[in-house]
A and B are shown apart, each in its own frame.
Chain A
Amino acid sequence: RWWQNRRARLLCMLALTFLFFVVEVVVSRVTSSLAMLSDSFHMLSDVMALVVALVAVRFAQCTRATKKNTFGWVRAEVMGALVNAVFLTALCFTILLEAIERFTEPHEIQQPLVVIGVGVAGLIINLLGLCLFNHHGVGGHGHSHGHGHSHSGRQHTRSGPKPEQPPRDGEAALHREETSTLVENCSSSNGVSQEKLGDMKDDMTDLQVNGNAGHYPLDVEEVEEDSSAQLNMRGVFLHVFGDALGSVIVVVNALLFYGLWNPCPKDGPCFNPCVNNHCMENATLFQTLGKANNSEQESVTVAGPCWLLYLDPVLCLMMVCILLYTTYPLLRESALILLQTVPKQIDVHSLNSKLRTLEGVEAVHELHIWQLAGSRIIGTAHIKCPDPSTYMMVAKRIKEIFHDEGIHATTIQPEFASVGSESGRGKCEFPCRTQCALKQCCGTGEDSTAKKTEKSSSLSISCSEVVIEFPKTRRTKSESIPSVKLEANTDQNEQFESSL
């Protein structure tokens, strides 16, 4: 269904809002009401927020790596959420300034009926927007078939011993069908962008050529709506919510004004006690005088009640507080992702200790966990093992440990301890050259300062030279692989020395 598509929802709301903005501008010209003109620009800010979200969604559909971005553009939605949140905060700030100005110089509402009419129309549009964007997790249906199709295709190719070229053409053709309806910029998306598959559900049922669609745990895909998409939609939702609150305030204010305000008539003496406060004493004097002589003098209309004039700024202040309170969590969440922090649910210390307690692992360093966007969490680590065969044995366990934490994209660098390196357990065996220490993402380990002082005398020695003194004494066991390696190592040593 089309409304499950994020992009369709955004476009629909964008069109509605822009239309309403135009209508409001026209009405304000016709009725020459300045307040309506300024209110129409709130709609324009909504339009800008929607544009930002749309651009982010468009970008984020390209999940493949490109020349400019090796991770694809999945992070665009997180950034869109942050931009929207900051934008909303800035708007709150300006509304706050306007409200404070109104306190010092209150205005009356001219033509409250028109304002009520337009306010109600705006409120309806905003409520519609709220419904559209409150529907999180709607995009979870309908892509099971597409998912199963592509997976079973791959399984089919892997089961045979022949190389994958011929079946891949078939698979590629199917992928092409899938991707032809996707974003044009990406040469081919990863095929599981959830919203589009919802559209293509009908197509997919025809394309299930490889059968066996249900083999794969599909509920993994269905249950998760990518949380970065959720962040983006939340940003838009908050904007629309703010606008809805603004419309509510406008309507309430105008209604009360219409009902309770006693305006100054154009003719006849009128006294407006709500402005020029320092004249209040004269006003009360005048009033008492007037009451004393009211039989002969015409009754003087007094505009009021004055508190009505202060209703608008007070309500605006309340709205600003509500908006800031609801925007802050979004701001914080998206900022934390962009700051490369560890996701909340992962405990790095326990992960570290789990890795260290594996047998065969001597040390773990440079352990980095960060969230790319949504559920894509990336980890890197350097694992120090005594020799490559040990590493082979623990490699799978290491990946399993990461997998259990939810980190599926890992890069594990094995390092093999050099001889006599008891003190250097924590040292990275493969850092860059010493003068690069400051340009590395994070020192070179716990002994970094010690290492620097060691090396400071000989700047041109690269660190890996120290490392590749492979253990000549340890390989007394009958493993033949290390013995093969040993011969190769001595070659390597000579090679390195000559390269200096």
Chain B
Amino acid sequence: MGRYSGKTCRLIFMLVLTVGFFVAELVSGYLGNSIALVSDSFNMLSDLISLCVGLSTGRIARRSRRGPRATYGYSRAEAVGALSNAVFLTALCFTIFVEAILRLARPEPIDDAQLVLIVGTLGLAVNLVGLLVFQDWGACCRRRRPPALPPAATTLRAVPGSAPTGEADEAGDSPNDQKSPEEGLEKKKERKSEALNIRGVLLHVMGDALGSVVVVVAATIFHVLPLGNAPCNWQCYVDPSLTIIMVFIILSSAFPLIKETSIILLQMVPKGVNMQLLTDRLARVPGVSSLHEVHVWELAGGKNIATLHIKCQTPTDYQDAAYKIRKVFHEAGIHSVTIQPEYIDCKTSQLLCSSPCISKACDSHLCCSQREPPLAKTNGYTEKNDSCLSALPKDNGSSKNDIEISIEYPLAEDSIKNVKNCGVSDGKSQLSSTRL
């Protein structure tokens, strides 16, 4: 990946522009002794902060992966950055809302309509440039991208995931992609993750633009119909009411972003993955007697990760099933899977995990409690017909009870032996000597 992809380029450009305008407004505000200019310049400051957050999280997310402090790398930084930007914007909207209400209670006219009009127009121009810059991805730094890839281009709108190619991407690729797969996939992956990051910044810029629009409208009204020294009429209410409308518009676009980042950050099942269907398909894989502890979550940017525990009869079952299980996941769009095999012992329940941790004291630290046998069909607990026959020898009754540590694994080791007793009789194992 190049150091300066299109995304960083845009952010830096916008940053420079905003800083320049902020300084200009501040200076001219102090020189001209106008409070309106100074306060408007601080709106630019909030824009600056959101841009910095966006830039820095983009940088962090591209840092070298897998340090000792972060085994997954920092690719989630963009989601966290987007959430921070959205919450920051919500808080700013809240304060703007409060001010607008105060203004409604105590209306004041705009004093220097002309100055405010000029500044407002300039601010609007800057914000429109920003919006354009973020929308038009091809405007700068196109080094790495091949020029014509129509499906990729259509996915880069401000609302990702709604384009059909985005959806197809999530549902899983066909094994033979027409375009060169790595290039296309990389673009799509970038599309999704950069979309979150940019969206956070875009929200701020849009909020600022709307604010400038309101300022321009109100100042125009005062410029065209000057109030002089007369008491406030309807003109004074234009500004606050438009501001309130603007706050609602911004909030209605911030909440979807918050929801999307929550899906990632709360480890929810990613959109496009149907857990019920997935667990049904997995349960039907031959060789799998039951599964539990199925977890599917999204790391960031379309990378889905799954872990599960399966119970099988023999190691060969496991090898066989592992490939098919991966295939099922691959079709669902999940490409990083970790499967823990557990061998069936007819004495333990099929539903419970044979190897949660080494002692039951850890139960509260497990991601999902093992204490109760879960309700069927939740957490991917599915089981097939009990393949264990009845009347099994109870020679290892000692291993079951109160010695907590030894409960699970001797059973696993014995399971080879017992499985043979259950149905498959192929000679004797030498594993019984290694029981703990």
**Hey, which bits of chain A sit against chain B, CB under 8 A?**
34, 37-38, 41, 44-45, 48, 63-76, 79, 82-83, 86-87, 89-91, 93-94, 97, 100-101, 104-105, 150-151, 154-155, 158-159, 161, 163-164, 168, 171-172, 175, 187-188, 190-192, 216-217, 220-221, 224, 335, 338-342, 347-349, 366-370, 372, 375-378, 380-382, 388-389, 392-393, 395-396, 399-400, 402-403, 406, 408-414, 416, 430, 432-433, 435-443, 459-460, 464, 468, 479-481, 484-485, 488-489, 492, 495-496
Contacts and interface: CB of A to CB of B under 8 A. Distances in A.
Contacts of A224: 364
Contact of A377 (B265, B365, B408): B365
A65 B66 CA distance: 28
A68 B330 CA distance: 20
B87 A70 contact: no
B322 A191 contact: no
B336 to A, nearest CB: 4
A90 B339 contact: no
A496 B323 contact: yes
A106 to B, nearest CB: 12
B413 interface: yes
A348 B71 CA distance: 8
A163 B349 contact: yes
Contacts of A377: 365
A414 B341 contact: yes
A348 B68 contact: yes
Contact of B102 (A37, A44, A155, A171): A37
Contacts of A75: 265-267
B98 A480 contact: no
Contact of B49 (A41, A79, A93, A459): A93
A97 B91 contact: no
Contacts of A171: 372
B357 A38 contact: no
B315 interface: yes
Going nearest first, the 4 A-B pairs with the smallest beta carbon separation are A90-B91, A190-B369, A65-B379, A408-B362
B265 A338 contact: yes
B202 interface: no
B360 A151 contact: yes
A154 B368 CA distance: 16
A34 B295 CA distance: 54
Interface stretch (B127-135, B150-158, B212-220, B299-307): B299-307
B380 to A, nearest CB: 7
Interface in B345-372: 347, 349, 355-369, 371-372
B340 A412 contact: yes
A262 to B, nearest CB: 26
Given A369-B71, A441-B299, A378 B367 contact: yes
A341 B66 contact: no
Interface residues of B, number: 124
A432 B326 contact: yes
Contacts of B355: 395, 399
B372 A175 contact: yes
Interface stretch (B3-11, B160-168, B171-179, B245-253): B171-179
Contact of A380 (B185, B307, B371, B400): B307
Given A64-B378, A66-B378, A414-B341, A71 B267 contact: yes
B294 A70 contact: yes
Interface string B82-98: 01100110111011001
B114 interface: no
Contact of B340 (A63, A94, A411): A411
24 contacts: A63-B369, A64-B378, A70-B379, A74-B367, A75-B265, A75-B267, A90-B88, A150-B371, A150-B372, A168-B373, A341-B69, A370-B71, A376-B366, A388-B315, A389-B431, A392-B409, A395-B412, A411-B293, A411-B339, A430-B339, A438-B186, A439-B333, A459-B175, A480-B429
Nearest to A63: B369
Given A150-B371, A400-B358, A158 B401 contact: yes
Contacts of A440: 303, 335-336
B106 interface: yes
Given A339-B74, A395-B355, A191 B266 contact: no
Given A34-B106, A45-B94, A435 B175 contact: yes
A414 B309 CA distance: 12
B336 A441 contact: yes
Nearest to A218: B361
A71 B83 contact: no
Nearest to A414: B341
B430 interface: yes
Given A86-B83, A97-B39, A399-B355, 8 more contacts: A41-B95, A158-B401, A168-B373, A221-B364, A395-B412, A396-B409, A409-B366, A440-B336
Contact of B361 (A217, A412, A488): A217
A89 B52 CA distance: 15
A370 B362 CA distance: 17
B316 A151 contact: no
A368 B71 contact: yes
Contacts of B431: 389, 392, 481
B68 A342 contact: yes
Contact of B309 (A411, A480, A485): A411
A79 to B, nearest CB: 6
B35 to A, nearest CB: 6
A72 B326 contact: no
Nearest to A71: B267
Contact of B267 (A367, A372, A485): A372
B114 to A, nearest CB: 21
B416 interface: yes
Contact of B76 (A71, A97, A340, A485): A340
B179 to A, nearest CB: 11
A92 B69 CA distance: 31
A378 B397 CA distance: 32
Name which of A37, A347, A432, A468 has the most chain B CB atoms within 10 A of its CB: A432
Interface in B376-391: 378-380
B434 A341 contact: no
Contacts of B401: 158-159
B102 A435 contact: no
A441 B305 contact: yes
Contacts of B371: 150-151, 154, 190-192
Contact of A485 (B70, B74, B316): B316
Interface stretch (B140-148, B222-230, B234-242, B268-276): B268-276
A105 B35 contact: yes
A441 B102 contact: no
Contacts of B76: 338-340
A369 B368 CA distance: 16
A483 to B, nearest CB: 8
Contact of B70 (A71, A86, A340, A432): A340
Contacts of B13: none
A64 B374 contact: yes
A86 B258 CA distance: 13
Contacts of A335: 80
A349 B71 CA distance: 11
Given A335-B80, A395-B412, A403-B362, A435 B337 contact: no
Contacts of B427: 480, 484
B87 A87 contact: yes
A339 B267 CA distance: 11
Nearest to B84: A86
Nearest to B348: A158
A121 to B, nearest CB: 20
